[in-house]
């Protein structure tokens, strides 16, 4: 859900790993980020709308990730996916660290890109290591 | 014993939030409106006084904590965005233990979802408005349903069609399905109590209590 920089990058990686990937975005132009050779599915619509989620195949999805620019939008989509459509794995990106903490405690799988980003820069300043580029490229995510 | 003034925190100072706050202030509630847009916040401050508005993001936890939310009796999510109302109410309930949360629901399809996600009272203005407008449209068979709180029960207003088989029947001869009850007859614009020997007349409107949300089926049951 959300075809910004993160959503597009993630979709391309998962697709090249052989997964069936559908990307949903409010704005048709966002799909340009996927490149013209993208072989996944693109659904243009509001992911807060159950009909759009159905159209995107949520009923048969194994996992869903929400990376729209709105924390609340992500939280609402995630709860719809989990509680209505019973998607097995739902991952939610949240910018606000405190809100992330609250929903994490409530059982959502969340991550806060603010905290993670700040942590990387902090490490760079305090230890001189650049965690953003310390791993060999091409490492496969196992999540 | 005198009851303490109830404290209502209203998230969102658009038209709904503003008029709600004004109304509640007139009824002696203590009210704070949270509004992030500076112009809107300034307008509310001008109209309702500086104590009634705080400028900030109603979903930002750090800011919410400064609004006295933990002593609020009710939090109302009144913005035009369902996701913002949902999250504001969930934070209020789960993080600040606010006893009652009311969310404005803009997309009527979200009413059920909000209830499932812990909102005490999701209120769909769109749904109410659609019902009211529908009932004002000319035509004899229009039905309006009014949800009775969050109970799942409805009051349904049925204008009897000309050819309804109920016309000429006594109230005690009307067989409604289980879970439905005739509670009032509106005749010539006035409510009439449906005593057993009252005869249903052409042009009557029946107000029916129904335990289901299926307004159409109520109409079906009396329209033939």
Q: What percent of chain B has pLDDT over 70?
A: 87
Of A73, A79, A102, the CB nearest to B91: A102
Give the separation between CA B130 and CA B110, rounded to whole angstroms.
15
Decide if A74 is inside a domain.
yes
Structural domains in chain B, CATH included, are: 7-124 (3.40.50.720), 138-223 (3.30.70.1450)
Decide if A101 is inside a domain.
yes
Tens of pLDDT, residues A9-26: 999 999 999 999 999 999
| pLDDT at residue A13 in the model | 95
CATH number of the domain residue A58 falls in: 3.40.50.720
Domain of A30, in residue numbers: 5-133
Instruction: Please answer yes or no on whether A99 and B84 come within 8 Å at the CB atom.
Output: no
Write out the two tokens for B187: 């005749």
Question: Does A95 or B155 have the greater pLDDT score?
Answer: A95
Ramachandran angles phi, psi of B82, nearest 5°: -55, -40
Low-confidence ranges of chain B (pLDDT < 70): 1-3, 134-152, 212-215, 223-224
Decide if A141 is inside a domain.
no
Measured between beta carbons, the chain A residues lying within 8 angstroms of B91 are 99, 102
Query: A143 pLDDT band (50/70/90 cuts)?
Result: very low
Measured between beta carbons, the chain B residues lying within 8 angstroms of A102 are 61, 91, 94-95
Rounded to 5°, angle at Cα A73 from A71 and A79: 100
Residue A67 near residue A4, CB atoms below 8 Å: yes
Instruction: Please answer yes or no on whether A98 and B62 come within 8 Å at the CB atom.
Output: yes
User: Rounded to a whole number, what is the distance in Å from the CA of A76 to chain B's nearest CA?
Assistant: 6
B4 touching chain A per CB within 8 A: no
| pLDDT at residue A66 in the model | 97
Decide if A38 is inside a domain.
yes
Give the separation between CA B195 and CA B78, rounded to whole angstroms.
42
Tens of pLDDT, residues A104-137: 988 999 999 999 999 999 999 999 888 877 655 5
Of A49, A83, A102, the CB nearest to B117: A83
3-class DSSP assignment, residue B185: strand
């Amino acid at each position: 859900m959300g075809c910004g920089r993160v959503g597009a990058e993630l979709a391309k990686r998962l697709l090249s790993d052989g997964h069936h990937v559908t990307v949903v975005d409010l704005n048709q132009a966002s799909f340009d980020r996927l490149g013209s050779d993208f072989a996944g599915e693109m659904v243009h619509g509001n992911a807060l709308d159950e009909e759009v989620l159905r159209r995107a195949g949520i009923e048969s999805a194994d996992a869903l990730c929400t990376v729209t620019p709105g924390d609340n939008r992500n939280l609402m989509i995630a709860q719809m996916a989990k509680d209505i459509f019973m998607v097995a794995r739902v991952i939610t990106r949240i910018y606000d660290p405190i809100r992330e903490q609250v929903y994490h405690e409530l059982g959502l799988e969340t991550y806060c890109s603010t905290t993670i980003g700040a942590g990387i820069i902090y490490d760079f300043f305090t230890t001189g290591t650049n965690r953003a580029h310390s791993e060999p490229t091409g490492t496969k995510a196992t999540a | 014993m005198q009851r303490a003034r109830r404290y209502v925190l209203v998230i969102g100072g658009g038209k709904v939030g503003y008029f709600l706050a004004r109304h509640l202030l007139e009824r002696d509630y203590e009210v704070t409106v949270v509004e992030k847009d500076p112009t809107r916040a300034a307008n509310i401050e001008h109209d309702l006084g500086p104590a009634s508005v705080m400028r900030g993001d109603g979903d930002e936890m750090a800011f919410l904590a400064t609004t006295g939310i933990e002593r609020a009796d009710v939090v109302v999510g009144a913005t035009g965005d369902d996701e913002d109302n949902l999250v504001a109410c969930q934070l209020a309930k789960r993080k600040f233990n606010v006893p009652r949360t009311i969310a404005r629901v803009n997309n009527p399809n979200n009413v059920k979802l909000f209830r499932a996600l812990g909102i005490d009272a999701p209120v769909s203005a769109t749904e109410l408005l659609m019902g009211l407008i529908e009932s004002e449209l000319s035509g004899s068979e229009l039905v309006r349903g009014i949800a009775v709180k969050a109970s799942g029960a409805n009051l349904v207003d049925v204008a009897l069609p000309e050819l309804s088989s109920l016309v000429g029947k006594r109230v005690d001869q009307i067989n409604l399905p289980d879970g439905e009850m005739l509670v009032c007859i509106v005749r010539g614009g006035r409510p009439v109590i449906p005593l057993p020997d009252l005869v249903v007349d052409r042009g009557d409107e029946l107000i029916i209590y129904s335990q289901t949300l299926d307004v159409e089926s109520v109409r079906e049951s009396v329209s033939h």
